[in-house]
Protein backbone atom coordinates (compact mmCIF):
# COMPACT_ATOMS: atom_id res chain seq x y z
CA UNK A 1 0.00 0.00 0.00
CA UNK A 2 1.31 3.45 -0.89
CA UNK A 3 1.41 5.62 2.28
CA UNK A 4 -1.03 8.50 2.44
CA UNK A 5 0.52 11.85 1.53
CA UNK A 6 -0.07 13.84 4.72
CA UNK A 7 1.54 16.04 7.33
CA UNK A 8 0.46 16.98 10.85
CA UNK A 9 -0.14 20.51 12.07
CA UNK A 10 -0.64 20.25 15.81
CA UNK A 11 -2.64 23.14 17.27
CA UNK A 12 -2.46 22.24 20.98
CA UNK A 13 -0.63 25.47 21.82
CA UNK A 14 -3.30 27.60 20.15
CA UNK A 15 -6.68 25.86 19.84
CA UNK A 16 -5.86 23.59 22.76
CA UNK A 17 -5.30 26.64 24.94
CA UNK A 18 -8.80 27.83 24.01
CA UNK A 19 -10.15 25.02 26.19
CA UNK A 20 -12.19 26.72 28.93
CA UNK A 21 -9.95 27.30 31.95
CA UNK A 22 -6.68 26.34 30.23
CA UNK A 23 -3.67 28.63 30.00
CA UNK A 24 -0.10 27.47 29.35
CA UNK A 25 2.99 29.28 30.57
CA UNK A 26 5.76 29.99 28.06
CA UNK A 27 7.86 27.26 29.66
CA UNK A 28 5.01 24.76 29.32
CA UNK A 29 4.44 25.72 25.69
CA UNK A 30 8.12 25.27 24.93
CA UNK A 31 8.20 21.85 26.64
CA UNK A 32 5.14 20.68 24.69
CA UNK A 33 6.62 22.05 21.44
CA UNK A 34 9.88 20.19 22.08
CA UNK A 35 8.08 16.87 22.57
CA UNK A 36 5.86 17.45 19.51
CA UNK A 37 9.07 18.00 17.55
CA UNK A 38 10.55 14.77 18.95
CA UNK A 39 7.39 12.93 17.86
CA UNK A 40 7.98 14.12 14.29
CA UNK A 41 5.10 16.59 13.92
CA UNK A 42 5.85 18.69 10.85
CA UNK A 43 4.07 21.92 11.83
CA UNK A 44 3.39 23.36 15.30
CA UNK A 45 0.83 26.13 15.60
CA UNK A 46 2.42 28.03 18.45
CA UNK A 47 -0.31 30.57 19.17
CA UNK A 48 -2.20 33.70 18.17
CA UNK A 49 0.44 36.41 18.79
CA UNK A 50 -1.85 39.44 18.52
CA UNK A 51 -3.87 38.24 21.54
CA UNK A 52 -1.41 39.62 24.10
CA UNK A 53 2.19 40.65 24.56
CA UNK A 54 2.86 37.47 26.53
CA UNK A 55 1.40 35.35 23.73
CA UNK A 56 3.56 37.24 21.24
CA UNK A 57 6.68 36.52 23.29
CA UNK A 58 5.81 32.84 23.68
CA UNK A 59 5.39 32.36 19.92
CA UNK A 60 8.65 34.23 19.32
CA UNK A 61 10.52 32.04 21.83
CA UNK A 62 9.23 28.85 20.22
CA UNK A 63 10.36 30.15 16.82
CA UNK A 64 13.86 30.57 18.28
CA UNK A 65 14.10 27.04 19.73
CA UNK A 66 15.70 25.63 16.59
CA UNK A 67 13.16 22.83 16.19
CA UNK A 68 12.86 20.66 13.09
CA UNK A 69 9.12 21.37 13.04
CA UNK A 70 8.01 24.46 11.17
CA UNK A 71 6.28 27.03 13.37
CA UNK A 72 2.89 28.46 12.48
CA UNK A 73 0.64 31.09 14.04
CA UNK A 74 -2.91 32.30 13.59
CA UNK A 75 -3.86 35.69 12.18
CA UNK A 76 -7.01 37.49 11.18
CA UNK A 77 -7.08 39.22 7.79
CA UNK A 78 -5.75 42.42 9.39
CA UNK A 79 -2.39 44.17 8.90
CA UNK A 80 -1.64 44.25 12.63
CA UNK A 81 -2.07 40.48 12.90
CA UNK A 82 0.27 39.86 9.98
CA UNK A 83 2.83 42.28 11.44
CA UNK A 84 2.77 40.31 14.69
CA UNK A 85 3.40 37.07 12.79
CA UNK A 86 6.28 38.67 10.90
CA UNK A 87 7.84 39.98 14.12
CA UNK A 88 7.62 36.54 15.77
CA UNK A 89 9.53 34.94 12.90
CA UNK A 90 7.08 32.14 12.11
CA UNK A 91 7.46 30.00 8.99
CA UNK A 92 3.74 29.85 8.20
CA UNK A 93 0.84 32.18 8.98
CA UNK A 94 -2.75 30.97 8.93
CA UNK A 95 -4.89 33.85 7.69
CA UNK A 96 -8.49 33.05 8.52
CA UNK A 97 -11.87 34.66 8.00
CA UNK A 98 -15.38 33.31 8.45
CA UNK A 99 -17.05 32.41 5.18
CA UNK A 100 -20.54 31.13 6.02
CA UNK A 101 -23.53 33.38 5.32
CA UNK A 102 -24.40 33.50 9.03
CA UNK A 103 -20.90 34.51 10.13
CA UNK A 104 -20.57 37.00 7.30
CA UNK A 105 -23.82 38.66 8.34
CA UNK A 106 -23.22 38.69 12.10
CA UNK A 107 -19.45 39.26 12.31
CA UNK A 108 -18.46 41.30 9.26
CA UNK A 109 -21.58 42.94 7.86
CA UNK A 110 -20.10 42.93 4.38
CA UNK A 111 -20.36 40.85 1.24
CA UNK A 112 -18.36 37.72 0.59
CA UNK A 113 -16.48 39.41 -2.24
CA UNK A 114 -15.57 42.42 -0.10
CA UNK A 115 -14.21 40.17 2.63
CA UNK A 116 -12.35 38.02 0.13
CA UNK A 117 -10.66 41.04 -1.47
CA UNK A 118 -9.52 42.26 1.96
CA UNK A 119 -8.18 38.83 2.88
CA UNK A 120 -6.30 38.41 -0.40
CA UNK A 121 -4.54 41.69 0.28
CA UNK A 122 -3.22 40.18 3.52
CA UNK A 123 -2.00 37.08 1.63
CA UNK A 124 0.03 39.36 -0.63
CA UNK A 125 1.30 41.34 2.36
CA UNK A 126 2.45 38.18 4.18
CA UNK A 127 4.17 36.87 1.05
CA UNK A 128 5.94 40.17 0.52
CA UNK A 129 7.50 39.66 3.96
CA UNK A 130 8.66 36.10 3.29
CA UNK A 131 5.91 34.11 5.04
CA UNK A 132 4.21 31.02 3.74
CA UNK A 133 0.42 31.29 3.95
CA UNK A 134 -2.49 29.05 4.83
CA UNK A 135 -5.63 30.74 3.47
CA UNK A 136 -8.27 29.40 5.85
CA UNK A 137 -12.05 29.44 5.88
CA UNK A 138 -13.69 29.51 9.31
CA UNK A 139 -17.09 27.77 9.48
CA UNK A 140 -16.22 26.31 6.07
CA UNK A 141 -18.47 23.29 6.57
CA UNK A 142 -21.54 25.57 6.56
CA UNK A 143 -20.32 27.73 3.66
CA UNK A 144 -21.73 27.75 0.13
CA UNK A 145 -19.48 25.34 -1.82
CA UNK A 146 -19.40 27.67 -4.83
CA UNK A 147 -17.94 30.48 -2.71
CA UNK A 148 -15.44 28.11 -1.09
CA UNK A 149 -14.18 27.06 -4.49
CA UNK A 150 -13.91 30.69 -5.57
CA UNK A 151 -12.07 31.61 -2.38
CA UNK A 152 -9.61 28.73 -2.55
CA UNK A 153 -8.88 29.36 -6.23
CA UNK A 154 -8.21 33.05 -5.53
CA UNK A 155 -5.97 32.22 -2.58
CA UNK A 156 -3.94 29.78 -4.67
CA UNK A 157 -3.65 32.38 -7.46
CA UNK A 158 -2.17 34.77 -4.88
CA UNK A 159 0.37 32.15 -3.87
CA UNK A 160 -1.16 30.62 -0.74
CA UNK A 161 0.54 27.28 -0.13
CA UNK A 162 -2.46 25.85 1.73
CA UNK A 163 -6.24 26.10 1.58
CA UNK A 164 -7.70 25.68 5.06
CA UNK A 165 -11.07 24.02 5.70
CA UNK A 166 -12.43 24.30 9.24
CA UNK A 167 -15.39 22.33 10.52
CA UNK A 168 -15.60 24.95 13.25
CA UNK A 169 -18.78 23.68 14.90
CA UNK A 170 -18.03 19.97 14.61
CA UNK A 171 -20.98 19.93 12.24
CA UNK A 172 -19.93 17.17 9.84
CA UNK A 173 -20.09 13.39 9.73
CA UNK A 174 -17.51 11.25 7.90
CA UNK A 175 -19.95 10.72 5.01
CA UNK A 176 -20.36 14.49 4.67
CA UNK A 177 -16.59 14.93 4.81
CA UNK A 178 -16.17 12.39 2.04
CA UNK A 179 -18.72 14.27 -0.05
CA UNK A 180 -16.89 17.55 0.52
CA UNK A 181 -13.59 16.00 -0.52
CA UNK A 182 -15.18 14.63 -3.69
CA UNK A 183 -17.02 17.81 -4.72
CA UNK A 184 -14.80 20.64 -3.41
CA UNK A 185 -11.55 19.21 -2.07
CA UNK A 186 -10.75 17.68 -5.44
CA UNK A 187 -10.93 21.12 -7.11
CA UNK A 188 -8.26 22.68 -4.88
CA UNK A 189 -4.96 23.30 -6.67
CA UNK A 190 -2.75 23.75 -3.59
CA UNK A 191 -2.46 21.73 -0.36
CA UNK A 192 -5.68 21.20 1.58
CA UNK A 193 -5.58 21.59 5.38
CA UNK A 194 -8.36 20.05 7.48
CA UNK A 195 -9.30 21.39 10.93
CA UNK A 196 -12.05 19.43 12.72
CA UNK A 197 -13.87 20.06 16.00
CA UNK A 198 -15.46 17.33 18.08
CA UNK A 199 -18.91 18.64 19.04
CA UNK A 200 -20.63 15.53 17.67
CA UNK A 201 -17.73 13.19 18.45
CA UNK A 202 -16.55 12.91 14.83
CA UNK A 203 -13.36 15.02 14.78
CA UNK A 204 -10.87 12.16 14.49
CA UNK A 205 -13.09 10.19 12.10
CA UNK A 206 -13.63 13.25 9.89
CA UNK A 207 -9.91 14.01 9.86
CA UNK A 208 -8.93 10.48 8.87
CA UNK A 209 -11.69 10.35 6.24
CA UNK A 210 -10.32 13.57 4.74
CA UNK A 211 -6.79 12.15 4.76
CA UNK A 212 -7.87 8.97 3.00
CA UNK A 213 -9.63 11.13 0.38
CA UNK A 214 -6.57 13.28 -0.31
CA UNK A 215 -6.30 16.03 2.33
CA UNK A 216 -2.66 16.88 3.07
CA UNK A 217 -2.39 18.83 6.33
CA UNK A 218 -4.25 17.34 9.31
CA UNK A 219 -4.88 19.46 12.40
CA UNK A 220 -4.74 17.81 15.82
CA UNK A 221 -4.42 18.53 19.52
CA UNK A 222 -2.83 16.36 22.19
CA UNK A 223 -5.54 14.54 24.17
CA UNK A 224 -8.11 16.22 21.91
CA UNK A 225 -8.29 19.36 24.05
CA UNK A 226 -9.62 22.55 22.49
CA UNK A 227 -12.56 24.91 22.18
CA UNK A 228 -15.76 23.41 23.69
CA UNK A 229 -15.39 19.64 23.17
CA UNK A 230 -12.01 19.86 21.49
CA UNK A 231 -10.35 18.81 18.26
CA UNK A 232 -9.12 15.68 16.49
CA UNK A 233 -6.83 13.80 18.88
CA UNK A 234 -3.17 13.65 17.86
CA UNK A 235 -2.61 10.23 19.41
CA UNK A 236 -5.58 8.68 17.59
CA UNK A 237 -4.75 10.32 14.26
CA UNK A 238 -1.12 9.16 14.39
CA UNK A 239 -2.09 5.60 15.30
CA UNK A 240 -4.65 5.50 12.49
CA UNK A 241 -2.13 6.91 10.01
CA UNK A 242 0.26 4.09 10.98
CA UNK A 243 -2.32 1.29 10.88
CA UNK A 244 -4.60 2.44 8.05
CA UNK A 245 -2.51 4.90 6.04
CA UNK A 246 0.89 3.21 6.05
CA UNK A 247 2.55 6.34 7.49
CA UNK A 248 5.36 5.14 9.76
CA UNK A 249 7.62 8.19 10.19
CA UNK A 250 6.17 9.41 13.52
CA UNK A 251 7.61 8.21 16.83
CA UNK A 252 4.46 6.92 18.49
CA UNK A 253 6.35 5.90 21.63
CA UNK A 254 6.44 9.62 22.54
CA UNK A 255 2.66 9.73 22.86
CA UNK A 256 2.30 8.65 26.53
CA UNK A 257 4.82 11.29 27.65
CA UNK A 258 3.21 13.93 25.47
CA UNK A 259 -0.25 13.06 26.76
CA UNK A 260 0.88 13.15 30.39
CA UNK A 261 2.64 16.48 29.89
CA UNK A 262 -0.43 18.13 28.37
CA UNK A 263 -2.66 16.58 31.05
CA UNK A 264 -0.43 18.10 33.74
CA UNK A 265 -0.10 21.52 32.06
CA UNK A 266 -3.78 21.83 31.13
CA UNK A 267 -5.31 20.31 34.25
CA UNK A 268 -7.68 18.35 31.99
CA UNK A 269 -7.81 14.83 33.41
CA UNK A 270 -7.90 11.91 31.02
CA UNK A 271 -10.69 9.36 30.94
CA UNK A 272 -9.39 5.90 31.80
CA UNK A 273 -11.12 4.49 28.71
CA UNK A 274 -9.48 6.95 26.30
CA UNK A 275 -7.93 5.19 23.27
CA UNK A 276 -4.14 4.94 22.96
CA UNK A 277 -3.15 6.84 26.12
CA UNK A 278 -5.95 6.12 28.62
CA UNK A 279 -5.18 3.98 31.67
CA UNK A 280 -7.39 1.13 30.45
CA UNK A 281 -6.39 1.22 26.76
CA UNK A 282 -4.34 -1.98 27.04
CA UNK A 283 -5.87 -3.46 30.20
CA UNK A 284 -7.76 -6.76 29.98
CA UNK A 285 -10.02 -8.38 32.56
CA UNK A 286 -12.27 -10.84 30.73
CA UNK A 287 -11.16 -14.40 31.36
CA UNK A 288 -12.12 -15.46 27.83
CA UNK A 289 -10.03 -12.65 26.35
CA UNK A 290 -6.99 -13.22 28.53
CA UNK A 291 -6.96 -16.97 27.96
CA UNK A 292 -6.77 -16.37 24.20
CA UNK A 293 -4.24 -13.56 24.49
CA UNK A 294 -1.85 -15.70 26.49
CA UNK A 295 -1.59 -17.80 23.33
CA UNK A 296 -1.66 -14.91 20.84
CA UNK A 297 -2.17 -11.23 21.81
CA UNK A 298 -3.53 -10.48 18.36
CA UNK A 299 -6.77 -12.23 19.31
CA UNK A 300 -7.90 -9.15 21.23
CA UNK A 301 -5.37 -6.44 20.34
CA UNK A 302 -5.28 -4.79 16.93
CA UNK A 303 -3.01 -1.97 18.07
CA UNK A 304 -0.02 -3.38 19.95
CA UNK A 305 0.80 -1.45 23.15
CA UNK A 306 4.55 -1.41 22.46
CA UNK A 307 3.90 0.50 19.21
CA UNK A 308 2.67 3.47 21.23
CA UNK A 309 5.02 3.16 24.19
CA UNK A 310 2.57 1.31 26.45
CA UNK A 311 2.48 -2.07 28.21
CA UNK A 312 -0.25 -4.67 28.36
CA UNK A 313 -1.94 -5.27 31.72
CA UNK A 314 -4.06 -8.17 32.91
CA UNK A 315 -6.54 -6.91 35.50
CA UNK A 316 -8.22 -9.14 38.06
CA UNK A 317 -11.96 -8.70 38.61
CA UNK A 318 -15.35 -10.38 38.49
CA UNK A 319 -14.77 -11.56 34.90
CA UNK A 320 -11.37 -13.12 35.64
CA UNK A 321 -10.87 -16.77 34.71
CA UNK A 322 -8.54 -19.51 35.94
CA UNK A 323 -5.89 -19.05 33.24
CA UNK A 324 -5.66 -15.33 33.89
CA UNK A 325 -5.23 -15.70 37.63
CA UNK A 326 -2.65 -18.46 37.16
CA UNK A 327 -0.71 -16.14 34.83
CA UNK A 328 -0.78 -13.28 37.33
CA UNK A 329 0.28 -15.60 40.17
CA UNK A 330 3.20 -16.89 38.11
CA UNK A 331 4.24 -13.35 37.12
CA UNK A 332 4.67 -12.62 40.84
CA UNK A 333 6.90 -15.65 41.28
CA UNK A 334 4.36 -17.53 43.39
CA UNK A 335 3.29 -21.15 43.27
CA UNK A 336 -0.15 -22.15 44.54
CA UNK A 337 -1.97 -25.44 44.62
CA UNK A 338 -5.17 -25.92 42.61
CA UNK A 339 -7.24 -25.46 45.77
CA UNK A 340 -5.40 -22.25 46.63
CA UNK A 341 -5.92 -20.94 43.10
CA UNK A 342 -9.64 -21.73 43.36
CA UNK A 343 -9.89 -19.95 46.72
CA UNK A 344 -8.04 -16.92 45.38
CA UNK A 345 -10.25 -16.75 42.31
CA UNK A 346 -13.40 -16.83 44.43
CA UNK A 347 -12.06 -14.04 46.63
CA UNK A 348 -11.18 -11.87 43.63
CA UNK A 349 -14.69 -12.22 42.20
CA UNK A 350 -16.38 -11.54 45.54
CA UNK A 351 -14.30 -8.42 46.27
CA UNK A 352 -14.67 -6.95 42.78
CA UNK A 353 -18.44 -7.49 42.81
CA UNK A 354 -18.44 -5.22 45.86
CA UNK A 355 -17.13 -2.41 43.59
CA UNK A 356 -13.60 -2.71 44.96
CA UNK A 357 -10.71 -2.71 42.50
CA UNK A 358 -8.11 -5.43 42.97
CA UNK A 359 -5.01 -3.33 43.52
CA UNK A 360 -1.52 -4.76 43.80
CA UNK A 361 -1.62 -4.39 47.58
CA UNK A 362 -4.95 -6.21 47.82
CA UNK A 363 -3.65 -9.00 45.58
CA UNK A 364 -0.51 -9.44 47.70
CA UNK A 365 -2.67 -9.70 50.84
CA UNK A 366 -4.86 -12.28 49.11
CA UNK A 367 -1.83 -14.30 48.04
CA UNK A 368 -0.64 -14.46 51.64
CA UNK A 369 -4.12 -15.54 52.76
CA UNK A 370 -4.26 -18.14 49.99
CA UNK A 371 -1.02 -19.72 51.21
CA UNK A 372 -2.48 -19.93 54.73
CA UNK A 373 -5.53 -21.75 53.39
CA UNK A 374 -3.45 -24.83 52.63
CA UNK A 375 -1.98 -24.89 56.12
CA UNK A 376 -5.32 -24.56 57.84
pLDDT for 303 beyond 90: yes
pLDDT for 260 beyond 90: yes
More confident residue, 188 or 351: 188
Tell me what pLDDT residue 376 has: 46
Over residues 362-371, the mean pLDDT reads 74
Mean pLDDT of the chain: 92
d(CA 112, CA 114): 6
Whole-model pTM: value is 0.91
Tell me what pLDDT residue 348 has: 75
pLDDT for 75 beyond 80: yes
d(CA 267, CA 251): 25
Over residues 100-116, the mean pLDDT reads 87
Q: Count of CB atoms within 10 A of residue 244's CB?
A: 13
Residues with Cβ within 8 Å of residue 29, at least 6 apart in sequence: 13, 46, 47, 58, 62
Residues of the chain with pLDDT > 70: what percent? 98
Q: Each residue of 176-224: pLDDT tens digit? A: 999 999 999 999 999 999 999 999 999 999 999 999 999 999 999 999 9
Spans of all domains in the chain? 7-266, 283-375
Task: List the CATH code of the domain at 7-266.
Answer: 3.20.20.70
Tell me what pLDDT residue 163 has: 98
Strand 313-314 versus strand 283-284 pairing type: parallel
Model confidence at 317, pLDDT cuts 50, 70, 90, reads confident
Residues with Cβ within 8 Å of residue 358, at least 6 apart in sequence: 315, 316, 317, 348, 351, 352, 366
Model confidence at 66, pLDDT cuts 50, 70, 90, reads very high
pLDDT for 259 beyond 60: yes
CATH 1.10.238 correct for 283-375: yes
d(CA 227, CA 53): 22
Amino acid sequence: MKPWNVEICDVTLRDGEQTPGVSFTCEEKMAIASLLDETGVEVIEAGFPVVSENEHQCVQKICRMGLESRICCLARALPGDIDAAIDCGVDLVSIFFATSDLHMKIKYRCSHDEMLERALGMVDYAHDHGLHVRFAAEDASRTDPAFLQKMYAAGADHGAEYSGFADTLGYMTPVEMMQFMKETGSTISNKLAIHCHNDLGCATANTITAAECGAFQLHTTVNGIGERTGNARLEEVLALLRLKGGVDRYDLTCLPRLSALVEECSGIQMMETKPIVGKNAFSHESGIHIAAMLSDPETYEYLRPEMVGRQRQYILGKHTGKKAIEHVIASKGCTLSPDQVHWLLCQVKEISEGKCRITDNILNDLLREAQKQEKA
